[in-house]
Amino acid sequence: MQRFQYYIDGQFLDGEARFPSVDPASGKEWADLPEAREGDVDRAVNAAEQALYDGAWSKMTATQRGKLIYRLADLVAANAQKLAELETRDTGKIIRETSAQIAYVADYYRYYAGIADKIEGSYLPIDKPDMDVWLRREPIGVVAMVVPWNSQLFLSAVKIGPALAAGCTMVVKASEDGPAPLLEFARLIHEAGFPAGVVNIITGFGASCGAALSRHPKVAHVAFTGGPETARHIVRNSAENLASTSLELGGKSPFIVFADADLGSAANAQVAGIFAATGQSCVAGSRLIVERRVKEEFLTLLKGKAEAIVIGAPLDMATEVGPLATRRQQEHIAALVDKSVQSGARLVTGGHRPGGEGYYFPPTILDCDGVNSPSLVNEFFGPVLSVVSFETEAEALALANDTHYGLASGVFTQNLTRAHRLMKGIRAGIVWVNTYRAVSPIAPFGGFGLSGHGREGGMAAALDYTRTKTIWLRTSDDPIPDPFVMR
């Protein structure tokens, strides 16, 4: 059993308790993890506050902060394969994806390293003849970051990178499911030379760790990625400390295919959108909305691709779909597929858990045309695609917006004017046209509705970790006039 520690105030510690981590490919325990509880959380937040206001970090220039982030980026790149293997082992995500994704994570840190000394204030042309007024942008404070198990090194980078660029300090809570890569990442923070307390990384359970962190009186902002139900708890907790929040939540993202689309390209994108990462992606294109006259042709194409997918050991480079991260996720997906079939959905392919070890579930397609299926409403967070058809563009748009979520969407058409109409009409934070699941550190992402609020990525994310301070300087030497009149 590999043993991991958490990282508080520049030290690697065992914590108040321990718990095991399970390898999703075998269902067997493989690692021993530290369980942070309220005392550990308090220690981590206090360390972050000390670093923010009194430590070496508080005295660094923005350029010096940027150089540290550049050093971290280089270390991530140098250790990408080791981190990838850990993430694959602990979450079941296939090695061919974790390897590529974590190598790209280094570019996110490089992007925010460059932004660190480009977060500017402003001079206000104030309406008083004897006043100079400026706006300063300062760190928002101690940030609590709650990160899920899926793509955790990426989903932490889009929080840690901009927060460091803005000059914040932080406590990062890794998910209790598969936290080993983030706990290992702490060693890179340490090696890069960040002052003690700037980045603290812990893991633990929601009731004893997450709740204590999100309601802590010294936390100024909570950045969360996960599901809406947990987000509601975080928002309630933030009423205790009046912390601001940014919430990147799930979705039931529409994937619209018109008859004039390149169907082969659209099918490849749909496979990437729902079966890549075993469907465990917040932007998964889980609702296929296809024009009726090409529906059967497109379904036949998709069925062939789904059944050709290589399911296997996540550390094998030939594997295209690995196991789900947890047994409860496997059971949830199986139950929801069964309920959908019972409600009238037609099982096109997949749908049945294989025997043997591990938390596997095959790529599954449900034809839900004309059926009020649970699969069209509920987020699976797994490799399950629900299909409906449409006749007109207006019907396609109505189906796309028939959800309380609004994170991502895809549109496949060769008609440019139609694409522009749909870009404007779809209520989602991301619209991909003739592509899907593309990301960049330069481009922000985030959702509408139950998919949350706030943005990650781009300059906007760095500004979200700042607050403005207004500076008034009176330039007149004359005595202040009537003190009982606001001027």
Positions marked catalytic: 248
Gap between the Cα atoms of 300 and 318, Å rounded: 24
Backbone φ, ψ for residue 42 (5° rounding) = -60, -40
How does DSSP assign 288-337, residue by residue?
EEEEGGGHHHHHHHHHHHHHH--B--TTSTT-SB---S-HHHHHHHHHHH
Token pair 């067997």: residue:
28
* E-only strand ranges, 351-483: 364-367, 384-390, 410-412, 432-433, 452-453, 466-474
Distance linking the first and last C-alpha atoms of the chain = 69
Return the amino acid letter for 328.
R
Q: Which of 162, 198, 180, 164 is nearest to 44 (CA)?
A: 198
Q: Which of 42, 87, 8, 49 is nearest to 209 (CA)?
A: 42
> Is 245 in a helix, a strand, or coil?
strand
Question: Which of 153, 154, 210 has its CA nearest to residue 183?
Answer: 153
Of the candidates 206, 184, 199, 176, the residue with the CA atom closest to the CA atom of residue 5: 184
Query: What one-letter code names the amino acid at 79?
Result: N
Contact between residue 41 and residue 213 where contact means Cβ atoms under 8 Å apart: yes
Decide: 444 and 457 in contact? Cβ < 8 Å.
Answer: yes
